[in-house]
Amino acid sequence: MNEYTIKDDEAAIQSNLKTWLNRPPSEELNPEVIQVKQVENTTSHIILFQLDNGDYGYARLLKGLNGKFKIDHAGYGSGFFNSSYQVIETNKGEYLILYGENPDLTVDHVLATALSGEYDITFDISDDQRFLQSAKIPSDVERAFPVDLTFYDASDILIEEFLYQ
């Protein structure tokens, strides 16, 4: 229980995320928490944050039995449309997390396709200037990571592909 010390409030999450990101040998980072949400009915919560340089990032909080959190993963830096993804393991299976920016609401939806060919998931981001979404990956998938991201407009016209390299 001593690991789970972060209170379930915005100020505590903001402060602890800054401490986590600034562990040595990191540069001085100043994240602004934009959104925190629970991944469906799991013990995992995800954070969307933005750094002073405009990059978006993602962090995962795990909720302990005492109702408090601990951060177990964080990353930042992004690809096309200042967006990226992460595959996380939760107590209810694997989830694909998509996060980033949709300037001028240019993108209607994003298709995430596993390189293994085992699944694809469509995320509707048509109303979100900044987005943080999750989707459960089918339980029979053997290789959930990596994925290619394909961005489409409202007319289903390809805007850009962000292919895993």
Residue 22 CA to residue 26 CA, distance in Å, equals: 5
Percent of the chain with pLDDT over 70: 97
DSSP states of 7-72 as a string?
Answer: -SSHHHHHHHHHHHHT-TT------EEEEEEE-TTSSEEEEEEE-TTS-EEEEEEEE-TTS-EEEE
Here the tokens at position 68 are: 């408090």
Burial class, 43, CB count within 10 angstroms (exposed 0-12 / middle 13-18 / buried 19+): middle
Position 165 scores a pLDDT of 54
- Confirm if 78 and 56 have CB atoms less than 8 A apart: yes
158: pLDDT confidence band, cut at 50, 70 and 90? very high
Burial class, 107, CB count within 10 angstroms (exposed 0-12 / middle 13-18 / buried 19+): buried
Task: Express each pLDDT in 76-110 by its tens digit.
Answer: 876 777 899 999 999 999 999 999 999 899 999 99
Task: Express each pLDDT in 16-57 by its tens digit.
Answer: 999 999 988 767 899 999 999 999 999 999 999 999 999 999
Task: Express each pLDDT in 101-145 by its tens digit.
Answer: 998 999 999 999 999 999 999 999 999 999 999 999 999 999 999
Rounded to the nearest angstrom, the gap between the alpha carbon of residue 62 and the centroid of all alpha carbons in its chain is 14
Q: pTM higher than 0.75 for the full model? A: yes
Position 30 scores a pLDDT of 93
Position 2 scores a pLDDT of 75
In Å, what is the CA distance from 96 to each residue of 51, 62, 63?
A: 22, 16, 19
Q: Give the mean model confidence (pLDDT) for residues 51-70.
A: 94
| Residue 35: strand pairing partners | 48
- Confirm if 63 and 3 have CB atoms less than 8 A apart: no
Percent of the chain with pLDDT over 90: 84
How high is the mean pLDDT of the chain?
Answer: 93
